[in-house]
């Protein structure tokens, strides 16, 4: 191991961009070591063929991670970088890399973006800002200062878990009370709900220059939470809109000061132009890397790693397809006994990939976070209509066979 250039990964999911990154690193010739806090991953070692060594460690304990790194280096490991493609650990990876003098993404930029209130305040003098207010943790004044409807969120939220729509003052008070109970020592962010189509811009920054790699139209299912169930990668946009997106991305990069690394911007196109909903300092998770690959032939996680080491990323499109990804959620809560329809779904024309995320005996829930999406279908075609139709037809063939749970404990706190 001492003669091999080693990449340390903090955290990984069973599928998606973080796992794709490990495969990409192997293609680039790295010896991959995965630090994970999931014991089940060690028990299912064969599911991670591109991980050369897997180490169980508490990823919330910085000292424990440093001790593991020190031991590896003492044993001759040539650690070239510490990376993460997960929201929970991308900041930690950057900060550890800076501490050890390794190539890394811009740590301060990551920290600013992940502090949703600080980032929202930094945006407020730009044309991309939305009206907002902050309810402080020590304040008894919870009056709404914005026009309804509004979005009430915890600055700690990820995956839509604590992002709630309020269409009435009653909703607003209920959501604030819920978040104050769940996070008693934290502020609450309230934003005006913007009417308009929602998009996602995937961006890679190299040498301080932001490159818009893909624009993705999002389809939102709104019940108790905002759940993205459909993504359409668009090869082209009207020139005027593309210019606005590029200007918006340039503004974000300047505000956060990122010199190298990936980020994505969720935004809406309203009558007042592009309005930023959220920015995250990484490529989107789930199947985003694969969508971009099917659309343009670009492996974004691979180019992100290359950029980290000073190599100019190859972002030239090899092809241009419309790609639509449809996610499948459960209609009821319970224990998964089996999932059927994958073979039939793959037979639908234009379908490129069908993936069942959960295994037998997993506990499924009706969706109240992005983590409650249990399968996806990716289709690629010459038009958005063909790709979407194929993905939705294929997704309709996937069925989760569920043994009903005695009660729905997962919904107790979050129900509106």
pLDDT per residue as tens digits for the range 47-99 = 999 999 999 999 999 999 999 999 999 999 999 999 999 999 999 999 999 99
The 10 Å Cβ neighbour count of residue 77 is 19
User: What is the structure's pLDDT at 137?
Assistant: 77
Radius of gyration of the chain (CA): 21
The 10 Å Cβ neighbour count of residue 201 is 23
pLDDT in tens, 148-187: 999 999 887 666 678 899 999 999 999 999 999 988 888 9
Whether the pLDDT of residue 244 is over 60: the answer is yes
Residue 37: which residues within 8 A CB-CB, separation 6 or more?
11, 56, 57, 58, 59, 60
pLDDT in tens, 369-404: 788 899 999 999 999 999 999 999 999 999 999 998
Distance CA 141, CA 135 (A): 8
Which CATH number is 5-104's, of 2.40.50.360, 1.10.10.10, 3.40.50.20, 3.40.50.1010? 3.40.50.20
Whether the pLDDT of residue 45 is over 50: the answer is yes
User: What is the structure's pLDDT at 413?
Assistant: 36
Q: Do domains 106-128+196-320 and 323-408 have the same CATH topology?
A: yes
Whether the pLDDT of residue 355 is over 90: the answer is yes
> Under a CB-based contact definition with an 8 Å cutoff, are residues 398 and 339 in contact?
yes
Least confident of 18-22, 109-113, 201-205: 109-113
Mean pLDDT score, 225-238: 90
Distance CA 147, CA 145 (A): 7
Residue 24: which residues within 8 A CB-CB, separation 6 or more?
299, 301, 302, 305
Mean pLDDT score, 22-42: 96
User: What is the structure's pLDDT at 416?
Assistant: 32
Distance CA 274, CA 247 (A): 10
Of 260, 244, 359, the residue nearest 303 (C-alpha): 260
Superfamily (CATH H level) for 323-408: ATP-grasp fold, B domain (3.30.470.20)
pLDDT top residue among 156 and 405: 156
Mean pLDDT score, 269-274: 92
User: What is the structure's pLDDT at 1?
Assistant: 52
User: What is the structure's pLDDT at 409?
Assistant: 45
Distance CA 185, CA 342 (A): 45
User: What is the structure's pLDDT at 414?
Assistant: 38
Distance CA 223, CA 230 (A): 15
User: What is the structure's pLDDT at 406?
Assistant: 60
Quote the tokens at residue 401.
């066979």
CATH topology of domain 106-128+196-320: D-amino Acid Aminotransferase; Chain A, domain 1 (3.30.470)
Alpha helix positions (H), 280-354: 288-296, 300-308, 342-346
User: What is the structure's pLDDT at 264?
Assistant: 97
For residue 411, give the DSSP letter: G
Handedness of CA 125, 131, 137, 140 (dihedral sign): positive
> Percentage of residues in the chain with pLDDT exceeding 70?
94
Whether the pLDDT of residue 411 is over 50: the answer is no
pLDDT top residue among 365 and 23: 23
Q: Does domain 131-192 have CATH number 3.40.50.11060?
A: no
Q: Where are the domains of the chain?
A: 5-104, 106-128+196-320, 131-192, 323-408
Mean pLDDT (the chain, rounded): 92
The 10 Å Cβ neighbour count of residue 106 is 22
SS (H, E, C) 364-392: ECCCCCHHHCCEEEEEEECCHHHHHHHHH
């Amino acid at each position: 191991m001492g003669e091999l250039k080693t990449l340390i990964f903090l955290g990984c999911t069973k599928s998606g961009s973080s796992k794709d990154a490990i495969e990409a690193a192997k293609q680039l010739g790295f010896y991959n070591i995965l630090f994970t806090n999931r014991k089940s991953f060690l028990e299912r070692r064969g599911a991670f063929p591109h991980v050369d060594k897997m180490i169980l460690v508490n990823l919330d304990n910085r000292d424990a991670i440093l001790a593991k790194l020190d031991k590896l280096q003492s044993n001759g490991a040539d650690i070239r970088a510490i990376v993460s493609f997960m929201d929970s650990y991308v900041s930690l990876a950057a900060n550890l890399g800076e501490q050890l003098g390794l190539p890394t993404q811009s740590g301060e930029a990551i920290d600013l973006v992940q502090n949703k209130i600080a980032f929202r305040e930094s945006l407020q003098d730009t044309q991309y800002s939305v009206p907002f207010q902050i309810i402080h943790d020590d304040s008894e004044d919870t009056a709404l200062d914005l026009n309804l409807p509004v979005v009430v969120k915890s600055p700690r939220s990820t995956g839509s878990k604590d992002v709630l729509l309020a269409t009435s003052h009653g909703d607003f008070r209920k959501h604030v009370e819920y978040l104050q109970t769940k996070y008693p020592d934290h502020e609450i962010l309230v934003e005006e709900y913007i009417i308009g189509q929602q998009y996602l811009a995937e961006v890679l920054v190299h040498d301080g220059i932001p490159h818009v790699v893909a624009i993705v139209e999002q389809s939102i299912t709104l019940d108790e939470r905002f759940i993205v169930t459909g993504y359409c990668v668009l090869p082209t946009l009207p020139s005027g809109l593309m210019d606005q997106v590029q200007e918006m991305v340039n503004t974000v990069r300047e505000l956060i000061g990122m010199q190298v690394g990936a980020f994505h911007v969720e935004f809406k196109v309203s009558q007042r132009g592009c309005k930023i909903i959220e920015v995250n300092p990484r490529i989107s998770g789930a199947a985003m890397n694969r969508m971009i690959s099917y659309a343009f032939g670009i492996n974004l996680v691979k180019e992100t790693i290359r950029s980290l080491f000073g190599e100019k990323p190859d972002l030239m499109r090899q092809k241009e397809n419309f790609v639509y990804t449809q996610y499948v959620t459960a209609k009821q809560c319970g224990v998964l006994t089996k999932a059927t329809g994958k073979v039939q779904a793959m037979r639908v024309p234009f379908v490129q990939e069908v993936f069942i995320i959960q295994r037998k005996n997993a506990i499924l829930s009706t969706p109240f976070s992005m983590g409650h999406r249990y399968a996806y279908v990716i289709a690629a075609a010459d038009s958005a209509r063909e790709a979407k139709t194929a993905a939705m037809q294929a997704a309709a063939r996937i069925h989760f066979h569920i043994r009903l749970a005695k009660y729905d404990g997962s919904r107790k706190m979050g129900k509106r």
